[in-house]
Chain A
């Protein structure tokens, strides 16, 4: 409860700082909006040239894409500071003040920034989801919708866990930004139907970086129910919880090794 209150105070201050550079923030959102729109147009352009991609039509792919992007956008909105931890903060020794306050370092890292640019992703994602849903015959049931919501939140938290692990390793290795970039870019592939990939990538997305589990199967299920949504929801919650705990554990262990700079 205390942390929730503190989170809102931190978030308020972050928004206040963001709003003191209004044009910069707005341009950031617009930039992300443009990136997203162009990549969606490219996707539609390619998909419209083929009748179907491994049984997925244009709108189905659009829905999958939108839902993945919503998960990515949510993570982007709340945990963007982890990028700069992996790239600069540890190396430049600028995390000193986090280590000097009587609060968990991870809490402060996440609470200190709300990245409004993420609305570029979130807005296009919501638009895509609505637009594609209207052109599809979705099997809407309580279980399927629940599964989808659990899947989106789960996928978002999974991305966050991987970011926490790799950013946490920066406490030991000083700079892990490039590795974070690799994993993040790889995670971007989960925007596409899992079946089009070779078996090894399918395996990775189902078990190692289980984003496919959180997004691909729930979306397939709402298009064409074949799995028990409740069981799958429980599986997703369990896996996400385990990954989150693991990431916090690794972060805490690594953070003990934090070295400020010499001067």
Chain B
């Protein structure tokens, strides 16, 4: 029996159509027309206890909208979300006892008072017993290094400290499910690392189910055993990370500055399957490692052209989505 069931979930936002200028604005006062914006279009999936699922897609793909419907703070236009076979809307208080939520953009801490007070009040809100509180509080403090600013006002915390605190606050009641909406947004590498480690550790220690949205490929690679890719409100891919990496992960990009004497034909002669793009002052080569021997290509670039300034990087999540989308269109 799955822990979370998302059934045919849809969300349509109504946006009033407004013309420009005062005249048409007055007109809309009397008769208003709406344009439907479908943010999420009939998605379904199940999540089992203990999974770490990456929910990814470009900006505006419908990630946050889905997560919010799964938490029960956004009323769906159609479909429903069940946790433990209970509707999140009908059993809000009961479900809230089982979930923890961190939104990277918004804090849930009490703003003007010392951080420790937030934890104390959450203890009574979630009815955590003294022993459980003691155990988890110390565990989270150590895991996320919170001790040094526990008595500081939340207002005066840095973003990294605030995120760590938010993260700990969402876990104090030992939720079965943790929703993370861009938990590493705007953080430096060290804090990102700390948060990732904490997520892994929690999942291992308490078997917490984690659903996270992110734009950071590294978050996904280090954490997620399963990913769901969404674009324009529809699921493009739902499966494990390995197979999608196999499909796309072998694609590499090389970028270097344009120089006199560079000939496309030379590269094409080496291998037909390399795509060459000109971006302002740079040249971008994209290819799959299945077709191209990277060493040999580099030998040409460094040996023949004497390039000493270049970057190699993997395909990003945006490109994977683009590719998947294109494939989807073709199969139609």
Q: How far is the CA of A50 from the CA of B296 in the complex (A)?
A: 104
Tell me, in angstroms, the Cα distance from A103 to B112 when the chains sit together: 22
- For window 103-161 of chain A, which residues contact chain B by CB distance below 8 Å? 103-104
- Given known A5-B124, A262-B13, A263-B64, contact A99–B73 (CB-CB < 8 A): yes
The residues of B that contact A20 with a CB separation of less than 8 Å are 112-113, 153
Q: When chains A and B are docked, how far (Å) is the Cα of A5 from the Cα of B120?
A: 13
Assembly CA distance A257 to B96 (angstroms): 17
Q: Quick check: is A256 within 8 A (CB to CB) of the other chain?
A: yes
The binding surface of chain B is classed by DSSP as mixed
Asked if B117 CB lies within 8 Å of chain A CBs, one says yes
**Closest partner residue, chain A, to B110 (CB atom):** A13
Asked if B65 lies at the interface with its beta carbon under 8 angstroms from chain A, I say yes
Q: Is the CB of B93 within 8 A of A103?
A: yes
Q: How far is the CA of A10 from the CA of B124 in the complex (A)?
A: 10
Would B73 and A262 count as touching, CB distance under 8 A? no
Partner pick for A16 among B89, B92, B108, B113, CB 8 A cutoff: B113
Chain A residues lying within 8 Å of B124, measured Cβ to Cβ, are 5-6, 9
What bracket does the count of chain A residues touching chain B fall in? 20 to 34
> Which single residue of chain B is at the shortest CB-CB distance from A17?
B112
Residues of A within 8 A of B101 (CB): 100
CA distance A20 to B152 in the complex (A): 13
Across the interface, do B89 and A256 meet the contact criterion of CB distance under 8 Å? yes
Given contacts A5-B124, A6-B125, A16-B112, contact A104 B73 (CB under 8 A): no
User: Residues of A contacting B106 with CB < 8 Å?
Assistant: 94, 96-97
Tell me if A217 is interfacial: C-beta within 8 Å of chain B. no
CA distance A13 to B121 in the complex (A): 9
Known contacts A262-B39, A262-B64; is-contact A100 B110 (Cβ 8 Å)? no
Which residues on B sit within 8 Å (CB–CB) of A256? 75, 89
Q: A97 to B122, alpha carbons, bound, how many Å? A: 12
Interface of chain A residues 1 through 47 with chain B (CB within 8 A): 5-6, 9-10, 13, 16-17, 20-21
Total A-B Cβ pairs within 8 A: 70
Instruction: Give bound CA distance, A16 to B103, whole Å.
Output: 25
Quick one: given A6-B125, A9-B124, A20-B153, are A258 and B75 in contact (CB under 8 Å)? yes
Q: Is the CB of B74 within 8 A of A13?
A: no
Quick check: A260 and B73 within 8 Å, CB to CB?
yes
Q: In the docked arrangement, what's the CA distance between A20 and B125, Å?
A: 24
Contact of A17 with B111 in the complex, beta carbons under 8 Å? yes
* B52 at interface, CB cutoff 8 A: no
Q: Report how far A5 CA is from B68 CA in the complex, Å.
A: 30
Are B113 and A97 in touch, CB under 8 angstroms? Answer: no
Residues in chain B near residue A104, CB distance under 8 A:
93
A101 on interface, CB distance cutoff 8 Å: yes
Complex alpha-carbon distance, A148 and B110, angstroms: 39
B96 pairs with A102, CB closer than 8 A: yes
A94 CA to B73 CA, complexed, in Å: 11
With a CB–CB cut-off of 8 A, which chain A residues contact B89? 256
Q: Does B57 contact A (CB under 8 A)?
A: no
In the complex, residue of chain A having the shortest beta-carbon distance to the beta carbon of B37: A262
Name the distance in Å between B153's Cβ and chain A's nearest Cβ.
7
Least CB distance, B173 to chain A, in whole angstroms: 9
User: B90-137: which have CB < 8 Å to A?
Assistant: 92-94, 96-97, 99, 101, 103, 105-106, 108, 110-113, 117, 120-121, 124-126
The reply to whether the CB of B178 lies closer than 8 angstroms to some CB of chain A is no
Residue B72 interfacial (CB < 8 Å) = yes
Residues of A within 8 A of B220 (CB): none
Residue of B nearest to A105 (CB): B92
Q: Which of B74, B96, B112 contacts A101 (CB 8 A)?
A: B96
B83 within 8 A of A: no
User: A9-B121, A17-B111, A263-B105 are known contacts. Are A102 and B97 too (CB-CB below 8 A)?
Assistant: yes
With an 8 A cutoff between CB atoms, is B199 at the interface? no
Docked CA distance A17–B89 (Å): 32
Given A102-B125, A262-B65: A21 in contact with B72 (beta carbons within 8 A): no
Cβ contact within 8 Å between A101 and B73: no
Q: Which residue on A lies nearest to B154, using beta carbons?
A: A17
Taking a contact as CB atoms under 8 Å apart, the answer to whether B125 and A17 are in contact is no
Q: Is B71 an interface residue (CB 8 A)?
A: yes
CB <8 Å contact, B75 and A259: yes
Q: How far is the CA of A174 from the CA of B46 in the complex (A)?
A: 32
* A17→B74 contact, CB < 8 A: no
Contacts of B68 in A (CB 8 A): 96, 260
Q: A257's closest neighbor in chain B, by CB?
A: B75
The answer to whether B74 touches A259 (Cβ under 8 A) is yes
Q: Mark B133-149, 1 if CB is under 8 A from A, else 0.
A: 00000000000000000
Give 1 or 0 for each of B186-204: 1 = CB within 8 Å of chain A CB.
0000000000000000000
Contact pattern, B 218-244, Cβ under 8 Å of A = 1, otherwise 0: 000000000000000000000000000
Chain B contacts to A: CB under 8 angstroms: 13, 39, 64-65, 68, 71-75, 89, 92-94, 96-97, 99, 101, 103, 105-106, 108, 110-113, 117, 120-121, 124-126, 153
Interface contacts beyond A99-B73, A102-B94: sample of 7 additional A-B pairs, CB < 8 Å, sorted by A: A5-B124, A9-B124, A17-B113, A100-B99, A103-B93, A260-B74, A262-B64
What would be 30 A-B contacts, judged by CB atoms less than 8 Å apart? A5-B124, A6-B125, A9-B120, A9-B121, A9-B124, A13-B117, A13-B121, A16-B113, A16-B117, A17-B112, A20-B112, A94-B106, A96-B73, A97-B106, A99-B73, A100-B71, A100-B73, A100-B108, A101-B96, A101-B125, A102-B93, A102-B96, A102-B97, A102-B125, A104-B93, A257-B75, A258-B74, A259-B75, A260-B68, A263-B105
